[in-house]
Amino acid sequence: MDYAATLLARLPGTSARRSKDLRQLIETLEAYVPAEQVELVLKAYEFGAIAHQGQTRMSGEPYISHPVAVAKMLADMHFDSQTIIAAILHDVIEDTDVPVSELEELFGKEVATLVDGVSKLDQMEFTSRAEAQAESFRKMMLAMIEDIRVILVKLADRLHNMETLDAMPREKQARIARETLEIYAPIANRLGINHMKVALEDLGFRYLYPFRYAVLDRALKRSKGSQRQIVRKISERIMKAMVDEGIQGDVRGREKHLYSIYKKMAGKKRLMSDVVDVYGFRIIVPDVNTCYRVLGIVHGLYKPMPGRFKDYIAIPRINGYQSLHTTLFGPKGLPLEVQIRTTNMDRVAESGVAAHWQYKAIDKSIATPQRRARDWLARLNEIQQTGTSEEFLESVKVDLFPDKIYVFTPRGDIMPLPKGATIVDFAYAVHTDVGDRCVAAKVDRMLVPLRSTLLNSQTVEIITARGAKPNPNWVSFVTTAKARTAIQKYMKNMRSSESIDLGRRLLDRSLKDLGSSVRKVGKVRLHEALEELGIKDADALYEQLGLGERLAPLTARFLIGEKEDSPEPTSANLVIAGTEGMVVSYAKCCYPIPGDDVMGYLSTGRGVVIHRNSCGNLANFRKQPNKWITVSWEEGIDRDFSSQIQVETVDKTGVLAEVAAVIADSESNIEEVSVNNHHEDISSMTFLLQVKNRVHLARILRNVRKMQNVIRVSRDNAMKNTARRMK
């Protein structure tokens, strides 16, 4: 402290306020940091004060007051000295001429890296969660992955800025407040730092909606007088009951913060009196066993509300939060919300990853919140390696704004998932390999479809098979970022492989049509052509051809040196087997099946789309004959294809079931069915079926036509209603 006094006396323009702030910071640090590290913090303060000399904040205060306040917030959370030094210097790189190299030389690489990371975050601006600059958001998440302390310094920086936001113009206040509510408060929540989350939310609410805030604040202050008396009486009664049972602990009346009241009113469309008149109590006891004993005591004093008990001790929240929650019928029927937890749980609930800060600990699994945070960051790192910045942002939103459920593995392990998660989400949450090889599942020992939505406390068993692969359709119903990313990665790899194979076949057919082949073209000419086209290798060329981004007939002519002035369709025939995967698809306007006369259309980005020759949509593509290729079916195809039929029946009860039964008896599955009563006596039914080929479809049509209540059945008429559905 003598050094601090000398330092303050030596620095120009040192105010009593600055002296007090620095002394408070040093006093806090001395309680948990060695003396030599406190000296380093003072050295950083001296360096920062000189670097920021002459700079002031919008409020008129010397600029150094802000970094010191940020450092004090982090010191109150017992962060290590490197974090405190980085907090003091966090604006030096951006606002002064000091380079990163100088910080590294004076304070070490770790501090310099932290300051550099925070400086980069300071340059980011967001408009809202929905419209956030995706690449900036991605950089912020990656900074967290590299060193979580970067975002913790940024959170403290944002909190102090929010506390001093009065000096800003109204428009800037609203923008910063919205950004705080939609980006930074959720991150604080996800990291379990409750006191920061609450402060950021209330300040964000105050500056984003000042009139709503003022109304709620006045109403809450008016009700506090009577509330305090009720809270005191109930607290004393609970405390007396605990003492009678020989239990030591602390009972605190818990005040609701304004933003949570506002969210409940807005979300549940409830009056303010319904929300404010809920009394909160927090009971702190020494150990877990006592938590459950106290739960019994409060349930004996006041009747519990059915369905309102939650055990977050046995099943912690995703951010490491633990507590027992129960809601009781208090005096005169007033709802009492009670939280029961240990001293350590209370510390974790308020500080999350900052509780028992062990960044330097060798075994990082010691502290549950840190481990959970790092597990989350590891998942973010996995997600960010695939896809665009926008996809990454959408994926992270799921984690930042969670509404969780908890399910069990067969061994009793707890798996937290977002509300609405499916079996496939669970499988990928267990492990990517389990998700990839998932073929079936049991929920509470009953077989269920993979798209089934999971509910709280269910036990889920995944059945896998060697050689099984993800189904691309899964991406339409999964909700978690990990599942979606894994499926999309597989689809991308599969699509690339299939398009390369198809492109090679298309080019080979086109070259044969011109009396040549890839072998005759030769490696030298192929290499020259790739350079002229600006393509890195042959596989990249084949992939473009397979995806329809480049036309095989024109590419073939280019390779052998012919001119491209006569873009006619190639007569070479592509044989399809129905197993080509994602780069050969079947048009939903005409539903081609083996036995139909078909043509292939090269659709950019989708590969080859197969149409029936009689399809009405063919007329739309007459202007692009070079995109059509001749296609034929391979002999002996053994797989199911979609086909559509239309059935007109007498409008009678049970006819739909009768027709469906006949279709099932004809060895066909019904994918979809729709019914239209276009006449008071006639029903029109459209069925989407699974068939093997034209012979199979003809048998189905014949069997349906024989039915007593069927007036008409056709395949082609169904196309009239679906001609617009080209793709």
Q: Are residues 55 and 199 in the same domain?
A: yes
Residues 408 and 460 in one domain: yes
Ramachandran angles phi, psi of 160, nearest 5°: -65, -35
Residue with the larger pLDDT of the pair 134 and 667? 667
- Which segment of 341-345, 407-411, 540-544, 596-600 scores lowest on mean pLDDT? 540-544
Please indicate, yes or no, whether residues 502 and 647 belong to a single structural domain of this protein.
Answer: no
**Per the domain annotation, does 44 fall within a domain?**
yes
- CATH number, domain with residue 239: 3.30.460.10
Q: Same domain for 666 and 710? A: yes
Residue 379: the pLDDT is 63
Tens digits of residue pLDDT in 644-682: 999 998 888 888 889 999 998 998 988 888 887 656 678
Q: Is 103 part of any domain?
A: yes
Task: Read off the CATH number of the domain in which 690 is found.
Answer: 3.30.70.260
Q: Is 92 inside a domain boundary?
A: yes
Quick one: 424 and 290 in the same domain? no
Q: Are 29 and 77 in contact (CB under 8 A)?
A: no
Higher pLDDT, 38 or 405: 38
For the residues 441-461, what does the mean pLDDT come to? 88
pLDDT: is 498 or 718 the higher one?
Answer: 498
d(CA 428, CA 434): 6
Answer whether residue 362 is part of any domain.
Answer: no
Q: Could you report the per-residue pLDDT of 367-380, keeping only the tens digit for each?
A: 455 566 666 666 66
Residue type, 31: A
The rounded distance, in Å, linking the Cα atoms of 299 and 315 is 21
Residue 506 has what pLDDT? 76
d(CA 372, CA 354): 12
* Mean pLDDT to the nearest integer, 521-544: 79
Same domain for 453 and 317, yes or no, is no
- Residues 519, 574, single domain; the answer is yes
On whether both 561 and 591 belong to a single domain, the answer is: yes
Q: What is the CATH number of the domain that holds 118?
A: 1.10.3210.10
Q: Which residues are catalytic?
A: 94-95
Confidence of residue 359 (pLDDT cuts 50, 70, 90): very low
Residue 363 falls inside a structural domain = no
CB count within 10 Å of CB 670 equals: 13
Residue 297 has pLDDT above 90, yes or no: yes
From the CA atom positions of the chain, what is the Rg in Å?
34
pLDDT band at 241 (very low <50, low <70, confident <90, very high): very high
Q: What is the pLDDT of residue 564?
A: 47
Q: Give the end of a domain, one of 569, 603, 633.
A: 633
Segment 524-528 mean pLDDT = 80
pLDDT winner (highest mean) among 446-460, 564-578, 617-631: 446-460
Using the 3D structure, point to which of 615, 633, 651 is the last residue of a domain. Answer: 633
Q: Cα–Cα–Cα angle for 494, 497, 502, nearest 5°?
A: 120
Residues 432, 480 within the same domain: yes
381 has pLDDT over 80:
no
Give burial (CB, 10 Å; 0-12/13-18/19+) of 242. Answer: buried
Residue 624 and residue 520 share a domain: yes
Distance CA 115, CA 101 (A): 11
Q: Which residue has the higher pLDDT, 170 or 148?
A: 170
Same domain, yes or no: 323 and 462: no
328, part of any domain: yes
**Per-residue model confidence (pLDDT) at position 387:** 56
pLDDT band at 717 (very low <50, low <70, confident <90, very high): very low
Q: What is the DSSP track for 634-668?
A: PTT--S-EEEEEEEEEE--TTHHHHHHHHHHHTT-
For residue 570, what pLDDT is reported?
A: 43
pLDDT of the residue at 12: 47
389 and 253 in one domain?
Answer: no
The total domain count for the chain is 5
- Does 476 reside within a domain? yes
User: What confidence tier does 499 reach under pLDDT thresholds 50, 70, 90?
Assistant: confident
Give the separation between CA 641 and CA 698, rounded to whole angstroms. Answer: 14
- Domain membership of residue 725 (yes or no) is no
| Residue 481 pLDDT level (bands cut at 50, 70, 90) | confident
Q: Which of 158, 178, 211 represents a domain boundary (last residue)?
A: 211
* Domain carrying residue 32: 2-211
Neighbours of 159 (CB within 10 A): 23
Nearest-5° angle of CA 503, CA 508, CA 511? 125
- What pLDDT score was predicted for residue 131? 44
What is residue 457's predicted lDDT score, i.e. its pLDDT? 76
Average pLDDT, the chain: 78
Task: Enter the pTM of the model.
Answer: 0.55
- Grade residue 13 by pLDDT with cuts at 50, 70 and 90: very low
